Structure 1
Amino acid sequence: MLIPYQDLDTDTLQNLVEYFILREGTDYGEQELSLDEKTDKVLRQLKLGDIVIIYSELSESVTLIHRDQLLQQQNLIDE
């Protein structure tokens, strides 16, 4: 299930994004970015729709995923 980022409390969204960054060890290129810079980048991607928030009823967990990855997963299920 997709969760619109606008539906989340600001602090909840901030914590979710930071957890995602720290959990994933997300690589942002050749330059090392601070947690604040990484957070801002992910929040911009959420606002642009490049990244979406999904809730899994099966695992009862929330995660962020790139929209293209989600579409690929949906295509695999549809096949």
Structure 2
Amino acid sequence: MKVPYEQLETDTLNTLIEHFVLQEGTDYGEQEVSLSTKVEQVRDQLRRGEALIVYSELHESVHIVLAADYQPDDG
């Protein structure tokens, strides 16, 4: 189930985004990118609808996923 990011409290959203960024392990090339920059990039993706916050009832967990990769959890 998709969760609108606007409905989350600011601290909760920040923690969720930071967890996603730290778990992602994305290679940003030769230039080091700060955590705060990565967090803002993900926040922008959420605003543009390129990323989604998803709650899985099956796993009782919340994740950020790319919109293109989203497949509803049927249970």
TM-score of the superposed pair, with normalisation by structure 1: 0.84
Aligned to 1:15: 15
Distance 1:40 1:51 in 2: 13
- 1:17 CA drift (Å): 0.1
- Aligned length in residues: 73
Query: 1:68 maps to which residue?
Result: 68
Equivalent residue, structure 2, for 1:47:
47
Q: Return the alpha-carbon distance in structure 2 between the equivalents of residues 47 and 16 of structure 1.
A: 15
Task: State the superposition RMSD in angstroms.
Answer: 1.6
Deviation at 1:53, TM superposition (A): 0.3
More helix by share: 1
Find the aligned partners of 1:58 and 1:22 in 2 and give their Cα distance. Answer: 24
Give the drift of 1:24. Answer: 1.6
For 1:51, the aligned partner's letter is: A
TM-score under structure 2 normalisation?
0.88
Q: Which runs of 5+ in 1 are unaligned?
A: none
Consecutive unaligned residues of structure 2, counting only runs of 5 or more, are none
Q: Return the letter of the residue paired with 1:16.
A: L
TM superposition outliers: structure 1 runs of 4+ over 2 Å? 26-31
Query: How far apart are 1:32 and its partner, in Å?
Result: 1.9
Percent identical? 51
**SS at structure 2 position matched to 1:65:** strand
| Residues 3-24 of structure 1, C-alpha deviations (whole Å, 9 max, x = no match) | 0000000000000000011112
Give me the whole-angstrom Cα distance separating, in 2, the residues matched to 1:55 and 1:37. 25
